[in-house]
Amino acid sequence: MDRPVAVLVEAGLHGHEYAIDAMLAATALAAPGPVTVLTSDPEDLAVLCGARAAVIKI
């Protein structure tokens, strides 16, 4: 299973509306920590990243 799909499955989400967020989350989670993601829409990314990355609204 590719990583963006795995991130969606782990978060219990599905559908194309999460595709870009899943790709961003998978990229962030593949980086060595600690990881911070800056976004204008933090809700979905917070769910996708969980406690493994800090998600900050800008």
What pLDDT digit, counting tens, does each position of 5-58 carry? 999 999 999 888 999 999 999 999 999 989 999 999 899 999 999 999 999 999
Q: Specify the pLDDT at position 15.
A: 87
Tell me which residue range forms the domain holding 40.
Answer: 3-57
Q: What is the DSSP letter of 32?
A: P
3-class SS at 2? coil
- In residues, how long is the chain? 58
Q: Is the pLDDT of residue 1 over 70?
A: no
Count of domains forming the chain: 1
